[in-house]
């Protein structure tokens, strides 16, 4: 015969109910923006790299494709760090 829900055996730990969505912690703004920022940085880096090889200019102010490549790589790295929540980059209060 099964036990009632109110009684537990001695060795059994109490189970923890999941909290409703309204009570759970929401993701912070950097974590929500991390993956899109990473994707935008990757695309910008690839456009700059392809433009440097073929001579196509994607950004009119960047004739030598330096801003596109360095800026895209920087955006991609920052976005990846934000999205994964890297511990070494966060400020401590």
Asked whether 78 and 37 are in contact (CB, 8 A), the reply is: yes
Asked whether 77 and 90 are in contact (CB, 8 A), the reply is: no
pTM, two decimal places: 0.63
What is the spatial distance between Cα 84 and Cα 22, in angstroms, rounded to a whole number? 23
Task: Tell me the domain boundaries of the chain.
Answer: 29-84
Spell out the residues 6+ positions from residue 17 whose beta carbon is closer than 8 angstroms to its own.
Answer: none
Phi, psi at residue 71, to the nearest 5°?
A: -65, -40
Average pLDDT over residues 23-47: 86
pLDDT digits (tens, 9 = 90+) for 29-39: 878 899 999 99
């Amino acid at each position: 015969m099964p036990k009632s829900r109110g009684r537990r055996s001695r060795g059994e730990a109490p189970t923890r109910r999941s909290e409703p969505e309204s009570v759970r912690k929401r993701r912070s703004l950097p974590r929500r923006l991390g993956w899109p920022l990473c994707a935008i940085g990757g695309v910008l880096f690839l456009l700059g790299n392809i433009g440097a090889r073929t001579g196509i200019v994607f950004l009119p102010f960047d004739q030598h494709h330096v801003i596109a490549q360095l800026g895209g790589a920087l955006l991609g790295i920052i976005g990846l760090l934000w999205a994964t929540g890297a511990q070494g980059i966060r400020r401590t209060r």
